[in-house]
Amino acid sequence: MSLFNTTGLTDDQRMMREGVLDLLGRHLPWEKIRKMDEAREFPLEAYEALADAGYIGLFYPEELGGTGGSYRDIAIFLEAMGYHYTGIAQAITTSAVYAGMHIAKFGSPEMKKDLVPRIIAGKAKLALCMSEPGTGSDVAGVKTFAQREGDDYILNGNKVWITCGHVADYFVVITRTDRDGANRHQGISTLLVDAKTPGVTVRPLQMLGRRTSHANEVFFENVRVPAQNLFGGEGRAWKNIMSCLGLERLGLAAISAGHCFKITEYARDYAKDRVQFGQPISQFQVIQHKLADMLILSETARQMVYRAADVLDSGSPAVTEASIAKIVATDNNFKCADIGMQIMGGAGYSMEYDMQMFFRDSRVGPIGGGTNEIQRNILAKQMDLG
């Protein structure tokens, strides 16, 4: 029995959720996920199936070839993927949201016309290159530099924690184009770089969780990038990045909310089957309370996600709501996995069961996409605390 309550969803949204779960059940069955996690294999078949079914188009307006889904539509889509498997959800959002939204919002007309339809069709995968070895949360501290030389920029630098960089066709690179500006938030620009360009090197990283859509280190050594590939205005990347964060944080929260329900159902089913002292452990009140707490965490995460989506759909930037949703959903995701592991005891700690993967996959949520400490800094600023 599913613990997910679809009350409040439209008929189309219910159909979409059921369609996504059915498609993933066929193209990314659970026994395959376990093998792919161990092999660190990208879920290409499921990615392409979602694209062929038109789901990536939800993120983009009709004038760019998309279907113009509402933020709530997008939240439900990502929540469904997060419920099935966080790795495929991360693979889709990395290309379509974290990197692709920069193209859709700030790319030149030619760039949008060429690239967005290919993103929607699953024919072009993108990765956002922002974090660096010395600048994670401090985006304004990037050191990667692009020097103008005639009709090109010469790009040099090192990026790290680049999700899906190993399968990307293009990189959306946040780089300095001016080292002399007095304001550290100025002089930062965005370049579109073909991953096959000479001087680009990608080194996969061995990550704890979400291994199928893992992070990478990306090196740029005298990479020649056409000047026309600078987009969004020279020196204006900081402002552009900020305008993309609402959807990014909503996405991270929605994936985590879906994962909460997956973990809770898995732990519940185990508890109903596991017999100790002559009865299923689900009949012990201490276990019942733990499972009830997991359901509370799951439903609370989901409600925060829908609240942020509704505020975004109203036209507001939802700075406060998106940060709250990101904190609550990602923290609750890890708490659910932690409680679930305790319910399962030694089995939860064993690689033979799925709880260990849920635990590993959930831990990145409070770190990625702006740590939850950074989100609290944002909330403090929104509260006019200084």
Structure tokens at 18: 């059921």
> Residue ranges of the alpha helices (H) in the chain?
11-27, 30-39, 44-52, 71-84, 86-93, 100-106, 109-120, 237-273, 285-313, 319-344, 355-362, 372-382
Residue 46: CB atoms within 10 Å = 26
Interatomic CA distance for residues 324 and 13, integer angstroms: 24
Among residues 221, 243, 255, 248, which one has the least CA distance to residue 83? 255
62 included as an active-site residue: no
Tokens 């993120």 belong to which residue?
A: 59
Query: What DSSP character marks residue 71?
Result: H
Rounded to a whole number of angstroms, the distance between the first and last alpha carbons of the chain is 48
Q: Of residues 132, 248, 265, 321, which has the active-site annotation? A: 248
Mind giving me the DSSP string for 255-319? Answer: HHHHHHHHHHHHHHHHHHH-EETTEEGGGSHHHHHHHHHHHHHHHHHHHHHHHHHHHHHTT---H
Interatomic CA distance for residues 181 and 99, integer angstroms: 26
Tokens 């990478």 belong to which residue?
A: 216
Decide: 132 and 125 in contact? Cβ < 8 Å: no
Active-site positions read 248
